Amino acid sequence: MEPLRQLLNAYEQEADLSQFGRHAVRFDMLRCLTNLLLLDEAEETDPSIVARPIERPIFITGLPRSATTFLHTLLAQDPGHAAPRCWQSIYPYPCRLLGFDLRKLDVAFQFSMFHLFSPGVAALHPLAADTPQECTDITAQVFQSLRFDTTHRIPSYQNWLDAHGHHAAFRFHRRFLQHLDAQAPGRHWILKSPDNVFALDAIRAVYPDARIVFLHRDPLSVVASCVKLTELLRRPFTRHIDRGELGSQVSARLVENTAHMAEAAERDPGIVHFHYRKIVADPMATVRALYDHCEMSLSEDAEARMRQWLKQTRRHRHPHYSLEEFGLDARDLSRRFARYVQAFGVTPEASTVH
Protein backbone atom coordinates (compact mmCIF):
# COMPACT_ATOMS: atom_id res chain seq x y z
CA MET A 1 0.00 0.00 0.00
CA GLU A 2 2.85 2.42 0.70
CA PRO A 3 4.16 2.39 -2.91
CA LEU A 4 0.62 2.98 -4.18
CA ARG A 5 0.18 5.85 -1.74
CA GLN A 6 3.46 7.43 -2.83
CA LEU A 7 2.53 7.08 -6.49
CA LEU A 8 -0.98 8.50 -6.15
CA ASN A 9 0.28 11.47 -4.13
CA ALA A 10 2.85 12.24 -6.82
CA TYR A 11 0.22 11.95 -9.54
CA GLU A 12 -2.05 14.36 -7.70
CA GLN A 13 0.59 16.91 -6.72
CA GLU A 14 3.16 16.84 -9.55
CA ALA A 15 1.97 15.14 -12.73
CA ASP A 16 -0.44 17.90 -13.86
CA LEU A 17 -2.67 15.19 -15.31
CA SER A 18 -5.00 15.92 -18.19
CA GLN A 19 -8.57 14.64 -18.06
CA PHE A 20 -7.49 11.69 -20.21
CA GLY A 21 -4.48 11.20 -17.95
CA ARG A 22 -6.68 10.93 -14.86
CA HIS A 23 -8.86 8.29 -16.52
CA ALA A 24 -5.79 6.40 -17.78
CA VAL A 25 -4.16 6.39 -14.33
CA ARG A 26 -7.35 5.12 -12.72
CA PHE A 27 -7.65 2.37 -15.35
CA ASP A 28 -4.01 1.35 -14.84
CA MET A 29 -4.24 1.26 -11.04
CA LEU A 30 -7.43 -0.81 -11.07
CA ARG A 31 -5.92 -3.23 -13.61
CA CYS A 32 -2.88 -3.78 -11.39
CA LEU A 33 -4.99 -4.28 -8.26
CA THR A 34 -7.25 -6.71 -10.13
CA ASN A 35 -4.22 -8.71 -11.28
CA LEU A 36 -2.99 -8.99 -7.70
CA LEU A 37 -6.35 -10.48 -6.69
CA LEU A 38 -6.17 -12.92 -9.59
CA LEU A 39 -2.70 -14.07 -8.52
CA ASP A 40 -3.95 -14.58 -4.96
CA GLU A 41 -6.91 -16.57 -6.22
CA ALA A 42 -4.72 -18.77 -8.43
CA GLU A 43 -2.37 -19.48 -5.52
CA GLU A 44 -5.28 -20.47 -3.28
CA THR A 45 -6.32 -22.98 -5.94
CA ASP A 46 -2.78 -24.20 -6.60
CA PRO A 47 -0.26 -23.31 -3.84
CA SER A 48 2.53 -25.05 -5.80
CA ILE A 49 2.73 -22.09 -8.19
CA VAL A 50 4.96 -20.12 -5.82
CA ALA A 51 7.33 -23.08 -5.49
CA ARG A 52 8.10 -23.20 -9.22
CA PRO A 53 11.81 -22.74 -9.97
CA ILE A 54 12.87 -19.91 -12.28
CA GLU A 55 16.38 -21.04 -13.11
CA ARG A 56 19.21 -19.07 -14.70
CA PRO A 57 17.09 -16.32 -16.28
CA ILE A 58 18.85 -13.97 -18.67
CA PHE A 59 18.42 -10.23 -18.03
CA ILE A 60 19.24 -7.91 -20.95
CA THR A 61 19.88 -4.33 -19.88
CA GLY A 62 22.09 -1.34 -20.62
CA LEU A 63 21.52 1.99 -22.30
CA PRO A 64 18.12 2.54 -23.92
CA ARG A 65 18.13 2.61 -27.72
CA SER A 66 21.07 0.16 -27.73
CA ALA A 67 19.20 -2.77 -29.39
CA THR A 68 17.84 -4.25 -26.14
CA THR A 69 14.40 -4.76 -27.72
CA PHE A 70 15.94 -6.12 -30.91
CA LEU A 71 18.08 -8.70 -29.10
CA HIS A 72 15.28 -9.65 -26.69
CA THR A 73 12.87 -10.29 -29.56
CA LEU A 74 15.51 -12.20 -31.54
CA LEU A 75 16.24 -14.52 -28.61
CA ALA A 76 12.50 -15.03 -28.08
CA GLN A 77 12.36 -16.78 -31.48
CA ASP A 78 13.97 -19.81 -29.82
CA PRO A 79 11.02 -22.06 -28.88
CA GLY A 80 12.97 -23.11 -25.80
CA HIS A 81 12.85 -19.55 -24.48
CA ALA A 82 10.05 -17.68 -22.77
CA ALA A 83 9.69 -13.91 -22.78
CA PRO A 84 6.74 -12.10 -21.15
CA ARG A 85 4.54 -10.81 -23.95
CA CYS A 86 2.72 -7.50 -23.70
CA TRP A 87 -0.67 -9.17 -23.45
CA GLN A 88 0.57 -11.50 -20.68
CA SER A 89 2.15 -8.67 -18.70
CA ILE A 90 -1.04 -6.64 -18.83
CA TYR A 91 -3.40 -9.57 -18.23
CA PRO A 92 -1.65 -12.63 -16.73
CA TYR A 93 -4.78 -14.79 -16.73
CA PRO A 94 -7.29 -15.42 -19.52
CA CYS A 95 -10.33 -13.26 -20.09
CA ARG A 96 -12.70 -15.52 -22.03
CA LEU A 97 -15.84 -14.88 -24.04
CA LEU A 98 -17.56 -17.86 -25.63
CA GLY A 99 -14.39 -19.86 -25.05
CA PHE A 100 -12.07 -17.32 -26.72
CA ASP A 101 -9.24 -15.63 -24.82
CA LEU A 102 -9.65 -11.92 -25.57
CA ARG A 103 -6.39 -10.65 -24.08
CA LYS A 104 -4.49 -10.11 -27.33
CA LEU A 105 -7.41 -8.29 -28.94
CA ASP A 106 -7.92 -6.12 -25.88
CA VAL A 107 -4.25 -5.12 -25.66
CA ALA A 108 -4.02 -4.52 -29.42
CA PHE A 109 -6.99 -2.14 -29.12
CA GLN A 110 -5.38 -0.32 -26.16
CA PHE A 111 -2.15 0.16 -28.12
CA SER A 112 -3.98 1.41 -31.22
CA MET A 113 -5.78 4.00 -29.07
CA PHE A 114 -2.51 5.12 -27.53
CA HIS A 115 -0.99 5.56 -30.98
CA LEU A 116 -3.91 7.84 -31.85
CA PHE A 117 -3.33 9.97 -28.76
CA SER A 118 0.46 10.05 -29.20
CA PRO A 119 1.40 10.04 -32.90
CA GLY A 120 5.09 9.52 -33.38
CA VAL A 121 5.58 6.88 -30.69
CA ALA A 122 5.48 4.03 -33.22
CA ALA A 123 8.49 5.46 -35.07
CA LEU A 124 10.57 5.35 -31.89
CA HIS A 125 9.15 2.41 -29.97
CA PRO A 126 6.66 0.19 -31.85
CA LEU A 127 4.02 -1.35 -29.61
CA ALA A 128 2.23 -4.60 -30.42
CA ALA A 129 0.28 -7.01 -28.26
CA ASP A 130 2.50 -10.03 -28.94
CA THR A 131 5.92 -8.40 -28.64
CA PRO A 132 8.10 -9.17 -25.61
CA GLN A 133 7.52 -6.74 -22.74
CA GLU A 134 9.92 -5.13 -20.29
CA CYS A 135 10.34 -6.04 -16.63
CA THR A 136 9.10 -2.59 -15.59
CA ASP A 137 5.58 -3.50 -16.65
CA ILE A 138 5.68 -6.46 -14.27
CA THR A 139 7.01 -4.53 -11.27
CA ALA A 140 4.47 -1.78 -12.00
CA GLN A 141 1.79 -4.13 -10.72
CA VAL A 142 3.06 -3.64 -7.18
CA PHE A 143 3.54 0.10 -7.88
CA GLN A 144 7.34 -0.09 -7.65
CA SER A 145 8.48 0.55 -11.18
CA LEU A 146 10.63 3.03 -13.07
CA ARG A 147 8.00 2.83 -15.81
CA PHE A 148 5.83 5.40 -14.02
CA ASP A 149 8.53 8.06 -14.14
CA THR A 150 8.84 7.56 -17.89
CA THR A 151 5.17 8.26 -18.55
CA HIS A 152 4.59 10.97 -15.92
CA ARG A 153 6.43 13.82 -14.21
CA ILE A 154 6.52 12.49 -10.62
CA PRO A 155 9.91 13.39 -9.06
CA SER A 156 8.85 12.72 -5.44
CA TYR A 157 7.84 9.16 -6.33
CA GLN A 158 11.09 8.65 -8.24
CA ASN A 159 13.10 9.86 -5.24
CA TRP A 160 11.11 7.59 -2.93
CA LEU A 161 11.66 4.56 -5.17
CA ASP A 162 15.39 5.21 -5.44
CA ALA A 163 15.61 5.31 -1.64
CA HIS A 164 13.25 2.36 -1.13
CA GLY A 165 15.04 0.05 -3.55
CA HIS A 166 13.74 -2.73 -5.78
CA HIS A 167 13.98 -5.92 -3.71
CA ALA A 168 10.25 -6.19 -3.01
CA ALA A 169 9.49 -5.39 -6.64
CA PHE A 170 11.68 -8.22 -7.91
CA ARG A 171 10.34 -10.69 -5.37
CA PHE A 172 7.00 -9.97 -7.01
CA HIS A 173 8.67 -10.19 -10.43
CA ARG A 174 9.67 -13.78 -9.65
CA ARG A 175 6.19 -14.57 -8.37
CA PHE A 176 4.66 -13.17 -11.56
CA LEU A 177 6.96 -15.29 -13.74
CA GLN A 178 5.99 -18.35 -11.71
CA HIS A 179 2.36 -17.75 -12.67
CA LEU A 180 3.22 -17.40 -16.36
CA ASP A 181 5.53 -20.42 -16.15
CA ALA A 182 2.78 -22.55 -14.61
CA GLN A 183 0.60 -21.86 -17.66
CA ALA A 184 3.34 -22.78 -20.20
CA PRO A 185 6.13 -24.68 -18.44
CA GLY A 186 9.46 -26.02 -19.60
CA ARG A 187 11.12 -22.95 -21.12
CA HIS A 188 14.01 -20.68 -20.18
CA TRP A 189 13.15 -17.08 -19.28
CA ILE A 190 14.66 -14.14 -21.17
CA LEU A 191 13.96 -10.73 -19.57
CA LYS A 192 14.75 -7.19 -20.61
CA SER A 193 14.69 -3.57 -19.51
CA PRO A 194 17.28 -0.78 -19.60
CA ASP A 195 15.92 0.27 -16.19
CA ASN A 196 17.16 -3.02 -14.70
CA VAL A 197 20.57 -1.34 -14.43
CA PHE A 198 19.15 0.42 -11.35
CA ALA A 199 17.95 -2.85 -9.79
CA LEU A 200 20.95 -5.16 -10.21
CA ASP A 201 21.35 -5.77 -6.47
CA ALA A 202 17.69 -6.80 -6.21
CA ILE A 203 17.96 -9.03 -9.29
CA ARG A 204 21.03 -10.77 -7.85
CA ALA A 205 19.27 -11.26 -4.49
CA VAL A 206 16.11 -12.73 -6.02
CA TYR A 207 17.76 -14.58 -8.92
CA PRO A 208 21.25 -15.55 -7.67
CA ASP A 209 21.92 -17.61 -10.82
CA ALA A 210 20.79 -14.89 -13.25
CA ARG A 211 22.89 -14.11 -16.32
CA ILE A 212 23.29 -10.36 -16.83
CA VAL A 213 23.84 -8.86 -20.29
CA PHE A 214 24.93 -5.23 -20.80
CA LEU A 215 24.41 -3.57 -24.17
CA HIS A 216 26.47 -0.47 -24.94
CA ARG A 217 26.13 2.39 -27.39
CA ASP A 218 27.48 5.89 -27.95
CA PRO A 219 25.36 7.83 -25.43
CA LEU A 220 25.23 10.94 -27.60
CA SER A 221 23.39 8.86 -30.20
CA VAL A 222 20.62 8.01 -27.76
CA VAL A 223 20.06 11.01 -25.48
CA ALA A 224 17.86 13.14 -27.77
CA SER A 225 15.91 10.05 -28.87
CA CYS A 226 15.28 9.05 -25.25
CA VAL A 227 14.11 12.55 -24.34
CA LYS A 228 11.80 12.66 -27.35
CA LEU A 229 10.33 9.25 -26.56
CA THR A 230 9.69 10.33 -22.96
CA GLU A 231 7.97 13.47 -24.25
CA LEU A 232 5.74 11.43 -26.56
CA LEU A 233 4.89 8.92 -23.83
CA ARG A 234 3.96 11.68 -21.38
CA ARG A 235 2.10 13.99 -23.74
CA PRO A 236 -1.34 12.28 -23.70
CA PHE A 237 -1.43 12.21 -19.90
CA THR A 238 -0.40 15.74 -18.93
CA ARG A 239 -1.50 19.31 -19.57
CA HIS A 240 2.03 20.71 -19.80
CA ILE A 241 5.57 19.59 -20.64
CA ASP A 242 8.68 21.70 -20.05
CA ARG A 243 11.10 20.43 -22.70
CA GLY A 244 14.14 21.96 -21.02
CA GLU A 245 13.28 20.31 -17.71
CA LEU A 246 12.61 17.05 -19.51
CA GLY A 247 15.98 17.15 -21.27
CA SER A 248 17.74 17.80 -17.98
CA GLN A 249 15.88 15.01 -16.17
CA VAL A 250 16.30 12.31 -18.82
CA SER A 251 19.96 13.10 -19.54
CA ALA A 252 20.78 13.06 -15.81
CA ARG A 253 19.12 9.66 -15.49
CA LEU A 254 21.11 8.31 -18.42
CA VAL A 255 24.33 9.51 -16.82
CA GLU A 256 23.27 7.66 -13.65
CA ASN A 257 22.56 4.58 -15.78
CA THR A 258 26.09 4.57 -17.19
CA ALA A 259 27.64 5.14 -13.75
CA HIS A 260 25.72 2.13 -12.40
CA MET A 261 26.97 0.01 -15.30
CA ALA A 262 30.59 1.00 -14.73
CA GLU A 263 30.35 0.19 -11.00
CA ALA A 264 28.52 -3.10 -11.62
CA ALA A 265 31.08 -4.25 -14.19
CA GLU A 266 33.88 -3.66 -11.68
CA ARG A 267 32.09 -5.75 -9.04
CA ASP A 268 30.76 -8.51 -11.28
CA PRO A 269 33.09 -9.97 -13.92
CA GLY A 270 30.34 -12.42 -14.91
CA ILE A 271 28.41 -9.74 -16.76
CA VAL A 272 28.66 -10.19 -20.53
CA HIS A 273 28.98 -7.10 -22.76
CA PHE A 274 27.90 -6.42 -26.33
CA HIS A 275 28.11 -3.26 -28.42
CA TYR A 276 25.27 -1.90 -30.50
CA ARG A 277 27.24 -1.72 -33.73
CA LYS A 278 28.29 -5.37 -33.58
CA ILE A 279 24.78 -6.53 -32.62
CA VAL A 280 23.28 -4.77 -35.64
CA ALA A 281 26.12 -5.76 -38.00
CA ASP A 282 26.03 -9.48 -37.14
CA PRO A 283 23.09 -10.44 -34.91
CA MET A 284 23.71 -14.20 -35.11
CA ALA A 285 27.34 -13.80 -34.00
CA THR A 286 25.99 -11.99 -30.93
CA VAL A 287 23.49 -14.79 -30.32
CA ARG A 288 26.16 -17.46 -30.58
CA ALA A 289 28.48 -15.56 -28.22
CA LEU A 290 25.67 -15.16 -25.70
CA TYR A 291 24.72 -18.84 -25.89
CA ASP A 292 28.36 -19.81 -25.37
CA HIS A 293 28.66 -17.48 -22.38
CA CYS A 294 25.49 -18.91 -20.83
CA GLU A 295 26.48 -22.49 -21.68
CA MET A 296 23.35 -22.99 -23.77
CA SER A 297 22.96 -24.95 -26.98
CA LEU A 298 21.62 -23.19 -30.08
CA SER A 299 19.50 -25.76 -31.90
CA GLU A 300 19.16 -25.83 -35.68
CA ASP A 301 15.45 -25.09 -35.33
CA ALA A 302 16.08 -22.06 -33.10
CA GLU A 303 18.73 -20.68 -35.45
CA ALA A 304 16.44 -21.15 -38.45
CA ARG A 305 13.62 -19.30 -36.68
CA MET A 306 15.95 -16.46 -35.75
CA ARG A 307 17.28 -16.13 -39.29
CA GLN A 308 13.74 -16.14 -40.67
CA TRP A 309 12.73 -13.39 -38.22
CA LEU A 310 15.78 -11.35 -39.24
CA LYS A 311 14.78 -11.65 -42.90
CA GLN A 312 11.30 -10.40 -42.13
CA THR A 313 12.38 -7.63 -39.78
CA ARG A 314 13.50 -4.35 -41.21
CA ARG A 315 15.79 -2.42 -38.89
CA HIS A 316 14.14 0.96 -39.37
CA ARG A 317 16.09 4.15 -38.76
CA HIS A 318 14.76 6.25 -35.93
CA PRO A 319 14.06 9.93 -36.66
CA HIS A 320 16.88 12.26 -35.68
CA TYR A 321 16.25 14.81 -32.92
CA SER A 322 18.58 17.61 -31.94
CA LEU A 323 19.92 18.00 -28.44
CA GLU A 324 19.39 21.75 -28.59
CA GLU A 325 15.61 21.48 -28.76
CA PHE A 326 15.73 20.02 -25.24
CA GLY A 327 18.27 22.54 -23.91
CA LEU A 328 21.20 20.10 -24.06
CA ASP A 329 24.78 20.62 -25.22
CA ALA A 330 26.83 17.90 -26.91
CA ARG A 331 30.14 18.98 -25.41
CA ASP A 332 28.73 19.02 -21.90
CA LEU A 333 27.19 15.57 -22.41
CA SER A 334 30.49 14.21 -23.76
CA ARG A 335 32.17 15.31 -20.56
CA ARG A 336 29.47 13.76 -18.36
CA PHE A 337 29.57 10.43 -20.21
CA ALA A 338 33.38 10.27 -20.44
CA ARG A 339 33.78 7.65 -17.68
CA TYR A 340 31.33 5.31 -19.38
CA VAL A 341 32.83 5.74 -22.85
CA GLN A 342 36.32 5.03 -21.54
CA ALA A 343 35.30 2.12 -19.28
CA PHE A 344 33.62 0.16 -22.06
CA GLY A 345 35.55 1.31 -25.11
CA VAL A 346 32.51 2.90 -26.71
CA THR A 347 33.29 4.55 -30.04
CA PRO A 348 31.30 7.56 -31.29
CA GLU A 349 28.86 7.08 -34.13
CA ALA A 350 29.25 9.20 -37.23
CA SER A 351 26.24 11.39 -36.46
CA THR A 352 27.68 12.38 -33.07
CA VAL A 353 31.25 13.28 -34.05
CA HIS A 354 31.86 16.98 -33.41
User: Which residues of the chain are modeled with pLDDT < 50?
Assistant: 353-354
Distances (CA, A) of 278 to 29, 78, 139, 304: 40, 21, 31, 20
Asked if 292 and 298 touch (Cβ cutoff 8 Å), the reply is no
Helix (H) or strand (E) holding 97: strand 96-97
At 316 the pLDDT is: 57
| Dihedral angle sign, alpha carbons of residues 180, 73, 86, 223 | positive
At 149 the pLDDT is: 96
At 85 the pLDDT is: 97
How far is it, in rounded angstroms, from Cα 81 to Cα 70? 15
Distances (CA, A) of 59 to 12, 158, 196: 34, 22, 8
As a whole number, the mean pLDDT across the chain is: 94
At 233 the pLDDT is: 95
